[in-house]
Copies of this chain bind each other. A is one copy, B any other.
Amino acid sequence: MPNAVLLISCPDRPGLVAAVASFVADHGGNIVHAEQHVDAALNVFFQRVEFELEGFGVERQAIARAFAPVAERHGMTFDLRFTDTHARIGLLASREPHCLVDVLARTRSGDLGAEVVAVISNHDTHADLAAFYGVPYVHLPVTAQTKPQQESDVIARLRSLDVDLVVLARYMQILSPAFIDAYRHRIINIHHSFLPAFVGAKPYHQAHGRGVKIIGVTAHYATEDLDQGPIIEQDVVRVSHRDAVADLVRKGRDLETVVLARAIRLHVEHRVLIYGNKTVVFT
């Protein structure tokens, strides 16, 4: 039997933990995980509560309605999700294969708790790879002239496939505000620098030029401001004067792969709450 996950945020005040826990307990439910966080400066309360549907006295489709009065009483915004509904991912890729291979392989081995419903790319390079993993490959080439039309096509395709989450697996195109808005807080990008250092193009070249001793990568939600969105996960690796730009690229690739996978997992397991330009990540 799957579990239910409540993601809650509201102004902080006494009694919130008790209100949610009592709601679950009063219907005979068992909480398996509960994490909360209070941003003391902003006075906001965040919570993730996961409880067993087994033995819970409210039908799955009626839980949100049953919880609504609790939420209203405390001014809560909430999302209700279930651990057996796998996210439908639209994977946007370009020429670099490493993130693409990795996400597809994890999906096949069942490691990720999500499904890739299409690979969309402006190149036809990786059609065979998608075919091997049994995932439709949508080739939508782009030029400076066709960019708006191509983007519309991408969005149309994502919509027709009922995509929950857009993953930019080293997709090298900048998305328009309209695209961002259509999938707000549901587009994960992997940027190949330790943000906020080295925003924009060629971050490994920038890092090499600056002579840093550590490089990093950042998975974040795409927003209208390039590389400025809420950060989900970051990681780093040590480099030295011996590393040429090509070595940074190679070392960074392993980071990109792993950090993107972690961010997708956190998102699809409903562990991320966004507020302002930041995230609360309940691991």
Binding site for B on A (CB under 8 A): 13-19, 21-22, 24-26, 28-41, 55, 97-98, 101, 105, 108-109, 111, 128-129, 132, 194-198, 210-214, 216, 230-236, 238, 240-242, 244, 250, 253-254, 258, 261, 277-281, 283
Contact = CB atoms under 8 A, between A and B. Distances in A.
Of A26, A196, A213, A230, most buried by chain B (CB within 10 Å of CB) is A213
B210 A231 contact: yes
Contacts of A258: 254, 258
Chief secondary structure at chain A's binding surface: mixed
A267 to B, nearest CB: 14
Contact of A195 (B108, B212, B283): B212
A37 B210 contact: no
A153 to B, nearest CB: 28
A18 to B, nearest CB: 4
A231 B213 contact: yes
B101 A105 contact: yes
B233 A213 contact: yes
B241 A281 contact: yes
Contact of A283 (B55, B196, B242, B253): B242
Contact of A197 (B24, B101, B196): B196
A22 to B, nearest CB: 5
